A = this chain, B = another copy of it.
């Protein structure tokens, strides 16, 4: 069997650790390098104790790596740092799967406005593939640079795109009320994410201003050819992993809830990772914990033509590192489920 040599950049963060975990279970990937700016030189098990006893490459700086022997890089870096790093190794490696926000938005002006800094590698934006896997397979095959979607866009777009591209849902009236576990904030020593400040309570944040909203508008334009501004309110919940997008939508005149259900059933019927639940079944984040799965439920609301589409994922897996692996499988033309077969770890 041909193995591909993989590297994880930014292995000291949560998405990095999740990428490492998944690569170790992938039958065609060999983990050859890991970087972590601030933790270079440490044993990985000292950074993430769950890897105690595993044979792993050393944590290095970027410069210490031998990038010519790497086939695929999973870049788990903060935006800004990601584009700079990727530019340095772009010509040395075969494929780059970027988990940051740096290559998601195709319009560099929108990027600059959204992320508060200019984009320095605009040329890449023309060739990169936006890896919402289920909707981007054709473009992914053989791609050089893949921009993995944000966790909220992944969760929300899987819920909304079939309804939008089919014209069943009104693009002008989309309200996404989403909720995330705390790992979505990354591995940081921040008071706002301390246990005592985050447990046993809930809150909204970044109402109307979250950076993932323009990305969702773009995905709706690109995949469903509709122009819109989604209304988007994220929340922080006292759970580790897990994300739920509760999408409040309006059916277009003439469209029925059963039309909607039928179309989603067709769209996702052959998918391994996206499941339309039976009528009445409510998605729960805990059922996809630690897995690359997404579960979707469709419900009518109390006013005519109103509906609610609920989608759940694990923000670190399907919302990040799992989809990254899935994307690389698609780049290679492999079975997309390689390394991702695990069902949710429940309870």
Q: Is the CB of B288 within 8 A of A202?
A: no
Nearest-CB residue, chain B, relative to A203: B284
- Report the minimum CB–CB distance from A250 to chain B (whole Å): 10
Q: Is the CB of B239 within 8 A of A344?
A: no
Cα separation A288 to B237 with both chains bound (whole Å): 16
Cα separation A205 to B281 with both chains bound (whole Å): 9
Assess A342 versus B288: contact at CB under 8 Å? Given A208-B302, A275-B53, A347-B240: no
Contacts of A256 in B (CB 8 A): none
Contacts of A306 in B (CB 8 A): 208, 231
Contacts of A286 in B (CB 8 A): 50, 197, 199-201, 203
Interface size range of chain A in the complex? 35 or more
- Report the minimum CB–CB distance from A296 to chain B (whole Å): 10
The B-contacting residues of A in range 283-297, CB under 8 angstroms, are 283-291, 293, 295, 297
The B-contacting residues of A in range 38-65, CB under 8 angstroms, are 48-54
Contact of A191 among B185, B188, B275 (CB under 8 A): B188
Contact of A189 among B182, B194, B229 (CB under 8 A): B194
Q: Is the CB of A302 within 8 A of B345?
A: no
| Residue-wise interface mask of A (77-111) relative to B, using a CB-CB cutoff of 8 A (1 in contact, 0 not) | 00000000000000000000000000000000000
Not counting A207-B299, A208-B299, a sample of 17 additional A-B residue pairs whose C-beta atoms are within 8 angstroms of each other reads A50-B289, A50-B293, A53-B293, A183-B347, A185-B196, A187-B191, A187-B197, A195-B195, A199-B347, A202-B239, A208-B301, A230-B302, A231-B248, A233-B308, A237-B237, A241-B347, A290-B290
